Amino acid sequence: MATEGDWTTPGRGRGALTNARLHSNSPSKTLRTHGNGACGYCGNLVEWFDRHDGGRIPLTPMEFPSPRVPLRYRWSVSGGVARPGAYGRIDQFCRIAHPAICPAVEHDDLDPAIHPLHQALGVRMQKLISEGSFIPRLRDEAPTEDAAQDVEPDLPADRPVQRHVLACNNTLRIAPGPIDELQCVALDEETQDRCKRGVFELDEGQWVQVPVPPSRARPKSTVKRPMWVWEVNPLASYLDALRWLRQHCPAHHQSEAPDTAAVELVGFHTDRHARYITLDRPAGFQPTEAPADTGPQGPKTTTCAGDHCNNTTVVPEAGADWLCYRCARRARTRVATARRWQQPDSDRTDRA
């Protein structure tokens, strides 16, 4: 990833993004200034990165010496893409996935080597809460590492929320609202702001029913009925499916424009998203049916009136009692035979 100009200078604002450039071969299109954030559960700083297998993951904003970090906690970043392990900078430094050390999450098997870092983050969390600069999310249950890893969008509180689920590449992701309102996250070069166009294309998917994934916390309470999801055409190319996962409109498909916001499509979790499960097919979203292709319209044909005969003619004067040449010949033969047998016996004797 390469940039031109100091667009991170304080006071320059979002307009400074005009000087931002991304390398054409960069696997990630997210500017690092848009990857900074805070955990919604503990308030500690995190940096969001694109995962090597799709989706996004929050990592610690600082690096740690790899020998001091247990192997299962190590993550490395290359080209803006996060991968498990420590492969960057000659395997000397690594990052840690924040959900694995979040102080608001209950960890059953936290490694003793990580306890000091976990405690330091917990102290910072309590300090932010006491200062009033952070209000933790209210949850009915204790958050899990999976929950802390997802980006939950800020939803308006003044309207009922309806969130649709997207099925793409054998994975389920939930949108921040109705699927047809999913907004592109790329930068609009004309307005220097987030693109206003939508991701939804009616002819690229359809509503299908899929089984509800089993609940991890309450396996016996899994919904028995299938749920409705918007499935991207399974026959679509990989790049077309990637447009949905990257939350780009058709205009920014395969473009070099950076992203101005984090992707709002997060992994679907049965426990956390139970109230958004759609059991009835959503209204609308019907593709426009093209008129049936009847082919070229030829001349009107008339079928032969003979028994068990499928011969036809295009003669305009032919009526419903029209007979083909074979059936007409059979009919003349039958008429002539009937006439002979209907003549008096004297006429047949004299003729003999």
C-alpha dihedral, 93 to 98 to 104 to 110, nearest 10°: -50
> Do the beta carbons of residue 304 and residue 311 sit within 8 Å?
yes
Q: Choose between 6 and 127: higher pLDDT.
A: 127
Alpha-carbon distance of 95 to 109, in angstroms, equals 19
Task: Provide the pLDDT for residue 1.
Answer: 38
**Does pLDDT of 203 surpass 60?**
yes
For the chain, give the mean pLDDT.
76
Closest CA to 122 of 187, 16, 211, 41: 41
User: Over 50: is that where the pLDDT of 16 sits?
Assistant: no
For the cut 60, the answer to whether the pLDDT of residue 10 exceeds it is: no
pLDDT of residue 297: 58
- pLDDT for the residue numbered 199: 92
Q: What is the DSSP pairing of strand 227-232 with strand 165-168? A: parallel
Give the count of alpha carbons within 13 A of 270, CB side only: 17
pLDDT at residue 18 tops 50: no
Q: Quick check: 184 pLDDT over 90?
A: yes
Please give the Cα distance from 310 to 263 (Å, whole number): 63
Please determine, for residue 107, whether its predicted confidence score (pLDDT) is greater than 80. Answer: yes
In the predicted model, what is the mean pLDDT of residues 7-25? Answer: 45
Q: What is the mean pLDDT of residues 345-351?
A: 55
State the average pLDDT over residues 20-35.
Answer: 62
Task: Give the distance from CA 158 to its chain's centroid.
Answer: 27
Q: Give phi and psi for 37, each to the nearest 5.
A: -170, -170
- The structure's pTM equals 0.51
Helix (H) or strand (E) holding 127: helix 115-131
Q: Which of 49, 34, 7 is nearest to 187 (CA)?
A: 34
Q: Is the dihedral of CA 86, 87, 92, 95 positive or negative?
A: negative
DSSP letter, residue 97: B
Cα 109 to Cα 307: distance, rounded to the nearest angstrom: 85
DSSP 211: P
- Summarised one tens digit per residue, pLDDT across range 293-324 is 555 556 677 888 877 787 788 777 777 788 88
Q: What is the DSSP-derived secondary structure letter of residue 183?
A: B
Contacts 24+ apart (CB under 8 A), 157-164: 161/276, 162/276, 163/273, 163/276, 164/229, 164/230, 164/278, 164/282
Q: Rounded distance, CA 272 to CA 278, Å?
A: 14
More confident residue, 293 or 85: 85
Boundaries of every domain in the chain = 35-149, 158-286, 302-351
Higher pLDDT, 105 or 182: 182
Residue 348 is given by DSSP the state H
The two tokens of residue 178 are 């109705």
pLDDT digit string, tens, across residues 117-168: 999 999 999 998 888 777 776 554 455 666 566 655 555 555 557 889 999 8
For residues 68-95, give the mean pLDDT: 80
Higher-pLDDT residue of 13, 136: 136
Average pLDDT over residues 43-57: 81
Measured between alpha carbons, how far is 69 from 73 in angstroms, rounded to an integer?
A: 7
Say if residues 139 and 150 touch (Cβ distance below 8 Å).
Answer: no
DSSP one-letter code for 205:
E
Among 22-31, 258-267, 316-325, name the one with the lowest average pLDDT.
Answer: 22-31
Q: Report the DSSP beta bridge partners of residue 48.
A: 58
